[in-house]
Structure formats: structure tokens, C-alpha cells
Amino acid sequence: MNVHLKRWLAVSGTALVIAAGVVAGGSYWRLESNLQTVDLAKEITHPRPPSTPGRPLNILLVGKDDGRSDTAMVVQLNAAGDQARVVSIPRDTMVPRPRCGASPPVAIAMFNSAFSTGGAACTVATVEQMSGIRIDHFVQIDFNGFRDLIDRLGGIDVTMPEAIDDEKSGLHVPAGPTKLDGTQALAFVRTRYSIGDGSDLNRIKNQQLFMRALSEKMANENWLASPAKTLELADVLTKSIVTDTGIGSIPKLADLAGKLTALKPESIAYVTLPTETYLPDPNRVQPKQPEADALWQAA
């Protein structure tokens, strides 16, 4: 079990800890009762991309901030389980949005509007329509739970590529190595306007940098060696996530972790959906073609 769980760290530290909660024995039912689920099969009514043998396993990770989708990443694990890719989708990307419940389809809308329109199911449907790939599972993580996780870990060490002095996020740190507590870490993944050109693309770079740092922290300090520590983190995170029903239990999450036994940290690539300026509104972007389609097809 520990080997499986350590490999899962490299893909998503949060999902790893949830799966690890199964070792906590007597606390199983408490962790199980914390989980919330969405039945994608019932909520997505339009035709979906096929679930064909041998294709990658695709998991959509969404960060929820103040009731809206703030971060979206598609984790793709190859059929052999030894290579993975994390694709970040800028929230300002203009894409077609399919019908979501009672909401009719629209020809063009900001990507993150899908979550406010129809929650997890609408977001999954929008990703499937824009990419042509099947999304197998969905994990929504509340940013407040993310903050609590970092505090439980004792902070995260990050090397800042540049100083950040951001009044909007409240983050003020120098360039170079620094330790971020939970509140600072949350501000770091939110920061946008005080770095680079102020675009969402620079914020995504911060988020990918932080994901690497989080995985290294948990692996290097061997957090999973202690059942008590594992339970502590799992309790925080299972209160802060929503998953699809396909992985919406502790045994199912543990089984998903077990599929990652061949995956090594150095075998994971972080990429961002290729985009270009959306001409009707220079503050938005659109998928850049043919590069965007090529990215999805290359998995």
C-alpha cells in the first residue's frame, strides 16, 4: 500500500492523502462520510467521447475558490501507468459550452463559466467538447481545504522566480527560497496581476511550481510513514473535496492509487493548453490551433 500511495503523490498530493486514509482502520467510516459525490453519468446527457481500451485515464482536477472554478487541470495517465501529463486550462479561455441541465448551449463563453452554470457535470462536458477526450473522473478541491493542508504540513518551501508584492492576494515575498504557510500558499496560487504581464498564464506557472513543491515536501519528509499523520491529512481533505461517483469512496480512491504503481515523479510532465489572444476581447484567450488539438490528440 505505501508504495502505491507514494507514487500517487507525484500526480496529486491531495488525492494521495485521501487514498491513504484507508490505512486508518477505525476511522474508515468517518472519512467515508466526509466525501461528497456527483453522478456524471446521470447529469451529462449529450453524447460523450468513447471510453476505448488502451487510451489514457483522464482525471479533471478543479480548484474551487469562493464558489467558482478557479483552477482546472486534466491529469492524464497512460495505459501502462508509467507516464503522466498534467494539462492546465486557463480559466479565461473562450470555448463553446454545451447544454448543461436547463441552460442552453452557447457558441462561446469563458471556460470557468461552465462551473457556475452547471457545476462539475457542465465543466466535464465542456472539457470533453473542447478536447475530444473522455474525462473518466472528476475531483473538485475547495481552496480553504488546500490552505488547511499546507498548514498541517508545516508550510511548503518554494523558490520564487521573482519577488511578489500583490495587494489583491495579500502576498508579499522576496525572490528566492521562501517557506509559505497555508494562507501564503493560497495567495501564491491565486496571484496574477503582480507577476509577468498579469495574465492567467503566469498564475498557472505558479500553480504548477507549487504542485511540484507540494509533492516533494510530502515525499521527502515521508508523511505517509505515519498512520496518524496520514489520517490527519485525509480528514482535512475528505471534508474539502467532491468527486464523481466512480471514485467516490475510500476503497475506490485507494484502488485508483494502486493503478499508479509504475509511475515515477520524473515521468510527469506539466503543460498548459496552447492559447492565443481572443480578438473580440484582448483580455481573454482562445485555444491556438492546430497546436491545441494536437496536444489533446498526443496523449
pTM of the model: 0.84
Average pLDDT over residues 213-226: 72
Average pLDDT over residues 201-205: 85
Question: Which pLDDT does position 256 carry in this prediction?
Answer: 73
The 10s digit of each residue's pLDDT in 154-191 is 999 999 888 888 888 888 999 999 999 999 999 898 88
C-alpha 75/C-alpha 100 separation (Å) is: 23
> What is the enclosing helix (H) or strand (E) of 118?
helix 113-131
At 55, the pLDDT band (50, 70, 90 cuts) reads confident
C-alpha 104/C-alpha 266 separation (Å) is: 43
Distances (CA, A) of 40 to 96, 118, 125, 253: 19, 12, 9, 17
Pick the residue with more confidence: 206 or 21? 206
**Residue 90, preceding peptide bond in cis (omega within 30° of 0):** no
Pick the residue with more confidence: 132 or 298? 132
How many CA atoms lie within 13 Å of 119's alpha carbon, on the beta-carbon side?
Answer: 15
At 109, the pLDDT band (50, 70, 90 cuts) reads very high
